[in-house]
Amino acid sequence: MNRDNSSELFPVVDETGRVVGCATRGECHDGRRLLHPVVHLHLFNSRGELYLQKRPLWKDIQPGRWDTAVGGHVDYGETPDEALRREVREELGVTEFTPERLTQYIFDSVRERELVYVNRTVYDGPVTPSDETDGGRFWTIGEILRTLGTGLFTPNFESEFRRVFLTDDGIA
């Protein structure tokens, strides 16, 4: 059975993203709340639909829920841009895309603290989900809006979707 490697090394960063140390995945996810960087990619197609992945049941955080197309940790010694390219290739099999950095913020929960680098791209090529996911599909924005708050999505995705894409005037 697949499982996360609890001894994998992550950088520990300050709120600006400067590396101040390192810790294992286990230490970052065990409630110590060590701030560690992650990358997210929101993958849209040219019709404006958003690809979401389904998290496998073996994941240590939010198993079985729908989540951002790509979300992954920055490995120790790696830049966020390098991590983004690696994670997109590993999770979706996509190598040719142009990311646009939208924002960064701190995600804070009882179990962990993450410095999240949020990116988006428009992509109409093939998507080949790996066994790091339980597949995925493109969702219309209407489907997403109707499903928010039902427990189908990760709290991380819902929070980020609201923060980045919902405005007082509708969808950004």
pLDDT digits (tens, 9 = 90+) for 97-145: 999 999 999 999 888 899 999 999 999 999 999 988 899 999 999 999 9
Across the range 39-68, mean pLDDT stands at: 94
Q: Which of 142, 159, 3 is CA-nearest to residue 67?
A: 159
Given its phi and psi angles, is residue 91 left (phi above 0), alpha (psi -120 to 50 degrees) or beta?
alpha
Q: What is the CATH number of the domain that holds 132?
A: 3.90.79.10
Q: Is 51 helix (H, G, I), strand (E, B) or coil?
A: strand
The label of the residue with tokens 């300050």 reads: 14
Count of other CB atoms within 10 angstroms of residue 30: 15
Sign for the CA dihedral angle at 135, 141, 146, 151 comes to: positive
Count: domains in the chain = 1
Rounded Cα distance, 135 and 76, in Å: 27
Q: Is residue 156 part of a domain?
A: yes
For the entire predicted model, the pTM comes to: 0.90
**Residue 3 maps to a domain:** no
Q: Which domain holds residue 15?
A: 9-165
| Structural domain contains residue 170 | no
Q: Which residues pair with 54 in a beta bridge?
A: 66
* ∠ CA 144-68-116, rounded to 5°: 125
Within-domain flag for 97: yes
